[in-house]
C-alpha cells in the first residue's frame, strides 16, 4: 500500500522547560513520514533549500521514505522557531522563515499518482486541493490545517474539505473552523462539509473521533516526562494513516485502532527533541505500548 504526504520539511529551533534544540530536523511531512514508515513505505513531496544537511536525507531514505518528490530549490530551507512553557499543549511561535517554502507548488511525480493513502499536511488549502486532484484513485485522503488558514483562507479550505475523507485537527481549530464553541456541535457541522470522520487532537488529553453515527475517545499515554511536543500532531497522523494502510477494511473498528497507533507513536515522539526518540524506536516498542493503551481505559461492565 502506498502512502503519500505533502507538507513542510524544516529545520526547527525549539525551547522547552527541559532544554532546547537548534536547527534540528523537523517539519510536518518529516514527522508524518517517519511515523508512517513503521507500517508501509512512504512517498514524500516537499521542498528543501541548498543548506539542508545530507545526513537528514540519509536518515529518511533509511526508513523506506521515497524522496523523489522532494524538490531541492535555490535558497534556504524553511525554518520554524518555537517555545513551550510549562503548558506543553501550547506552542508559542517565535519566528517562521518560509524561505523556499514560500513559493512551494507541490508537483506530484507520475510514479506517486497511484498513492492510495494521502495526507495533506498543513499547507495552503488551495495547494492541498491541487494535490488531492492529482492522485488518481485514493482510498483515503486525510488533511490537517491551522488557525492561519482557517482565518485567512476560509473559503478555499471549505472547498478542499469537499475532497477530504478524514480531517485531523486540534480542538481549538475545530471550534474555530465551525465557529462553534461546543465540540459536539462543531463536529456535526464539519461532518456536513465533506469529511466522513473528524479526528480532534487534544494534546495531553488525548483524541476524540466523530463520525455521523459514533463518537470515540482515546486517552493520551500518561508520560512522566515530555521533553518536546513538536511534531506530536504529525507523528499521530503518520501512525494513524500508516496503520490504516495495512488494513483490508476501513471501518469504525480499524479507525479506532489507527487512532491508538497514532497516539502510541506520538507518545514516543514527545520523549525527546526532534526525531531523537523515533530514531531508536522498534516495532515491538510500538506494539507493547499499544497494549498498554488498551489497559489504560479498560473497565468492567456492571451487573444490571
Ligand atoms: P505539530 O507540532 O505536529 O503541530 O507540527 C510541528 C511542525 O510543523 C514543526 O516541525 C514545524 O517545522 C512545522 N511548522 C510550523 N509552522 C508551520 C507552517 N506555518 N507551515 C508548515 N509547517 C509548519
- Length of the chain (residues): 304
Q: What is the pLDDT of residue 90?
A: 85
* Region 28-34 average pLDDT: 98
Check whether 63 has a pLDDT greater than 90: yes
Check whether 250 has a pLDDT greater than 90: yes
* Region 124-143 average pLDDT: 97
* Region 94-122 average pLDDT: 96
* Region 27-31 average pLDDT: 98
Number of domains in the chain: 1
Whole-number Å distance, alpha carbon 42 to ligand 1 midpoint, is 19
Q: What is the pLDDT of residue 114?
A: 97
Query: Contact at 8 Å (CB) between 201 and 169?
Result: yes
Alpha-carbon span 179 to 201, nearest angstrom: 17
Query: Contact at 8 Å (CB) between 209 and 236?
Result: no
Q: What is the pLDDT of residue 86?
A: 83
Whole-number Å distance, alpha carbon 264 to ligand 1 midpoint, is 20
For residue 37, the domain's CATH number is 3.40.1190.20
Query: Contact at 8 Å (CB) between 107 and 84?
Result: no
Check whether 267 has a pLDDT greater than 80: yes
Task: Copy the grid coordinates of residue 185.
Answer: 456541535
Q: What is the pLDDT of residue 304?
A: 83
Check whether 33 has a pLDDT greater than 80: yes
Ligand 1 mutation target, pool 6, 7, 9, 10, most atoms within 8 A of CB? 10
Q: What is the pLDDT of residue 87?
A: 84
Check whether 265 has a pLDDT greater than 90: yes
Q: Which residues contact 125 (CB under 8 A, 6 or more apart)?
A: 145, 149, 153, 156, 157, 159, 160
302 in a structural domain: no
- DSSP structure class, residue 276: T
Strands of the sheet containing 91-97, edge to edge, are: 19-26, 10-16, 79-84, 91-97
- C-alpha angle 102/3/138, rounded to 5°? 95
Q: What is the pLDDT of residue 171?
A: 95
199 in a structural domain: yes
Whole-number Å distance, alpha carbon 98 to ligand 1 midpoint, is 11
Whole-number Å distance, alpha carbon 191 to ligand 1 midpoint, is 25
Atom of ligand 1 nearest to the CA of 234: 3
134 in a structural domain: yes
Task: With cut-offs at 50, 70 and 90, classify the pLDDT of residue 224.
Answer: confident
Check whether 43 has a pLDDT greater than 80: yes
Residues of the chain with pLDDT > 90, as a percent, come to 94
Check whether 93 has a pLDDT greater than 80: yes
72 in a structural domain: yes
Indicate yes or no: pTM above 0.85: yes
Check whether 1 has a pLDDT greater than 80: no
Would you list the DSSP string of 35-49?
HHTTTS-EEEEEEE-
Alpha-carbon span 7 to 36, nearest angstrom: 14
256 in a structural domain: yes
The average confidence (pLDDT) of the chain is: 96
Atom of ligand 1 nearest to the CA of 237: 3
* Region 149-158 average pLDDT: 97
Model confidence over 139-150: pLDDT tens digits?
999 999 999 999
Alpha-carbon span 88 to 230, nearest angstrom: 9
Could you tell me the residue range of the domain that residue 102 belongs to?
3-85+92-296
Task: With cut-offs at 50, 70 and 90, classify the pLDDT of residue 89.
Answer: confident
Check whether 208 has a pLDDT greater than 80: yes
Q: What residue ranges line ligand 1, CB within 6 angstroms? A: 8, 10, 12, 26-28, 80, 96, 122, 230-234
Model confidence over 177-198: pLDDT tens digits?
999 999 999 999 999 999 999 9
Atom of ligand 1 nearest to the CA of 79: 12
Amino acid at each position: 500500500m502506498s502512502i503519500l504526504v505533502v507538507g513542510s520539511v524544516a529545520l526547527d529551533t525549539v525551547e522547552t522547560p527541559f532544554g532546547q534544540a537548534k536547527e534540528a530536523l523537523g517539519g510536518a511531512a518529516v514527522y508524518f513520514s517517519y511515523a508512517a514508515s513503521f507500517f508501509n513505505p512512504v512517498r514524500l513531496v516537499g521542498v528543501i533549500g541548498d543548506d539542508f544537511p545530507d545526513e537528514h536525507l540519509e536518515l529518511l531514505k533509511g526508513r523506506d521514505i521515497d524522496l523523489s518528490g522532494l524538490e531541492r530549490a535555490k535558497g534556504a530551507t524553511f525554518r520554524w522557531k518555537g517555545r513551550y512553557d510549562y503548558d506543553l499543549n501550547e506552542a508559542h511561535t517565535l519566528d517562521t522563515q518560509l524561505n523556499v517554502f514560500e513559493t512551494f507548488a507541490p508537483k506530484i511525480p507520475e510514479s506517486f499518482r497511484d498513492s492510495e493513502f494521502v495526507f495533506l499536511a498543513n499547507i495552503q488549502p488551495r495547494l492541498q486541493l491541487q494535490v488531492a486532484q492529482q492522485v488518481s484513485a485514493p482510498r483515503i485522503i486525510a488533511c490537517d490545517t491551522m488557525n492561519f488558514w482557517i482565518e485567512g483562507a476560509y473559503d478555499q479550505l471549505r472547498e478542499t474539505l469537499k475532497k477530504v475523507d478524514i480531517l485531523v485537527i486540534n480542538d481549538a481549530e475545530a471550534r474555530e473552523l465551525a465557529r462553534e464553541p461546543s465540540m459536539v456541535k462543531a463536529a456535526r457541522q464539519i461532518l456536513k462539509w465533506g469529511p466522513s470522520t473528524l479526528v480532534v487532537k487534544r494534546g495531553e488529553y488525548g483524541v476524540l473521533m466523530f463520525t455521523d453515527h459514533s463518537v470515540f475517545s482515546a486517552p493520551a499515554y500518561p508520560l512522566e516526562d515530555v521533553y518536546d511536543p513538536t511534531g506530536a500532531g504529525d507523528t499521530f497522523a503518520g501512525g494513524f494513516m500508516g496503520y490504516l494502510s495495512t488494513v483490508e477494511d476501513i471501518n469504525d473498528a480499524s479507525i479506532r485502532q489507527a487512532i491508538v497507533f497514532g497516539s502510541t507513536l506520538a507518545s514516543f515522539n514527545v520523549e525527546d527533541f526532534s526525531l531523537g526518540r523515533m530514531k531508536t524506536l522498534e516495532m515491538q516498542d510500538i506494539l507493547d505500548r499499544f497494549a498498554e493503551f488498551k489497559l489504560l481505559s479498560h473497565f468492567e461492565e456492571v451487573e444490571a
